[in-house]
Amino acid sequence: MEWRVYILRCADGSLYTGITTDLERRLREHNGELPGGARYTRGRRPVRLLWRRSASNRSEACQLESRIKRMTRTQKLDLIRRPGNAGKSQR
């Protein structure tokens, strides 16, 4: 099972970071198409996927998510724009 760490841009311009094993399903949950989704994104729809990265296991995904959540907004945007992330971000 492959884990994914992802960053979303919410309708209000804020950024949300999370982890999942099924990114397509999770995006549908965040956007209200399926039940579930984070409380944070419910009032900030629609959300858009900006960045994703694979992790080999849940522990690795949680560690990366934690590092990203500690970053400033500017650092997160730099991560998203960083060369080498082509194909990992999506509009």
Indicate the Cα dihedral angle 31, 60, 51, 11, nearest 10°: 30
pLDDT score of 50: 97
Predicted TM-score (pTM) of the model is 0.89
Report how far residue 88's alpha carbon sits from residue 83's, in angstroms, rounded to the nearest whole number: 11
pLDDT score of 27: 97
Check whether the bond before 83 is cis (ω within 30° of 0).
no
Cα atoms in the Cβ-side hemisphere of radius 13 Å centred on 87: 2
| pLDDT tens for each residue of the chain, 91 residues long | 899 999 999 999 999 999 999 999 999 999 999 999 899 999 999 999 999 999 999 999 999 999 999 999 999 999 999 876 644 444 3
pLDDT score of 90: 43
pLDDT score of 1: 84
Give the CATH architecture of domain 3-81. Answer: 3-Layer(aba) Sandwich (3.40)
Report how far residue 65's alpha carbon sits from residue 17's, in angstroms, rounded to the nearest whole number: 7
Report how far residue 56's alpha carbon sits from residue 76's, in angstroms, rounded to the nearest whole number: 22
